[in-house]
Amino acid sequence: MIIDTKGRINIQNFGLEITPEFTLDDLRSNSHFADFRFGGRNDGYERYSILNALIENLPFFVFLIFSENKISRIHLSYTELIPKQSHENVEEYKAQVDLTKEKHDEWLFKEHGTLSPTYSWGSINSYLDTRFTYTANIVVIYTQPKMNILRRILNKS
């Protein structure tokens, strides 16, 4: 399974098992941490990306988002079908992204029996982002304890 029913994702080639309890410290202590790209820090979130991640022996781009040192969200994108984006052939690129979205939907339905499974630890969705770039992602959202959410709301006011 790419994402099991307990919210675990095993990135084989980096020896990384992400769980709902995964922290930024866990990521930093990984022996491959230098290979992960820092994606920025703002609005209380810290982001990292992992290129060429293998999950179930399949290639993925992984984008990790942390809040208050704890994993908040993960975006996974199956990369085998996606050519390097070319401005010369945008329609072909979009068609490949659409195929990737279909593959994500197929996996979710096969592994979880639905396209939007919800569990006690969070939820999983297949998403097509057309706002900034045309990309397909499997988005894993880990539910944060209510006190952390309340604290964030109070700090913004």
**pLDDT, tens digit, 9 for 90 and up, residues 23-67:** 999 999 999 999 999 999 998 899 999 999 999 999 999 999 999
Domain locations along the chain: 9-156
The pLDDT of residue 87 is 55
CA angle at 148 for the pair 146 and 122, rounded to the nearest 5°: 55
| Alpha carbon distance 22, 27 (integer Å) | 8
pLDDT of 84 strictly over 80: no
Handedness of CA 69, 75, 79, 82 (dihedral sign): negative
- The overall pTM is greater than 0.75: yes
Amino acid at 27: L
pLDDT of 145 strictly over 80: no
Return the bridge partners of 48, or none: 38, 64
